[in-house]
């Protein structure tokens, strides 16, 4: 089940968030554009997605599935939900960045018709970031 995150969920989300090379970004900073949703299975949060809708564009900030629950199409369900939400909000495109070393993430985004737009060299500790975009109109 996908539902909007509540404050009680932040401890679990924070644990997952620590696995990202996030350049010390505060995940829960006050941001009126940021949206958090969790994927709950049998009462346990096993995944989350965070995105920002900024007027007519969207940024996918984070998508994470607990390692124990991967390869169950949970990320795909989150992506389907996410794209439906941003389309309802009349977004014209979605942008994201992904580590060049995250092959599973790149495959997921390409499956959802994201294309490579640019490279941020040495953005992450382990290498470059690939900037990707998907046009919605």
Give the integer Cα–Cα distance in Å for 7 and 102: 29
Cα dihedral sign, 135-20-48-27: negative
Model pTM above 0.85:
yes
Interval 80-97: pLDDT, tens: 999 999 999 999 999 999
Domain count, the chain: 1
CATH number at residue 121: 3.40.630.30
The predicted pLDDT at position 137 comes to: 87
The predicted pLDDT at position 133 comes to: 98
Distances 113 to 32, 96, 104, 107, 116 between C-alpha atoms, Å = 27, 12, 15, 10, 10
* Segments forming the whole domain that contains residue 121: 2-135
For the CA atoms of 100, 102, 104, 110, the dihedral, rounded to the nearest 10 degrees, stands at -30
Interval 31-76: pLDDT, tens: 789 999 999 999 999 999 999 999 999 999 999 999 999 999 999 9
């Amino acid at each position: 089940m996908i539902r909007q995150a509540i404050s009680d969920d932040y401890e679990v989300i924070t644990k997952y968030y620590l696995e990202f090379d996030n350049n010390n970004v505060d995940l829960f900073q006050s941001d009126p554009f940021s949206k958090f949703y969790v994927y709950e299975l049998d009462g346990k949060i096993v995944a989350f997605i965070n995105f920002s809708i900024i007027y007519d564009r969207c940024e996918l900030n984070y998508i994470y599935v607990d390692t124990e629950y991967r390869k169950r199409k949970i990320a795909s369900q989150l992506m389907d939900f996410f794209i439906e939400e941003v389309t309802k909000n009349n977004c014209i495109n979605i942008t994201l960045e992904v580590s060049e070393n995250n092959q599973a993430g790149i495959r997921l985004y390409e499956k959802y018709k994201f294309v490579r737009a640019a490279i941020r060299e040495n953005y992450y500790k382990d290498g470059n970031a690939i900037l990707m975009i998907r046009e919605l109109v």
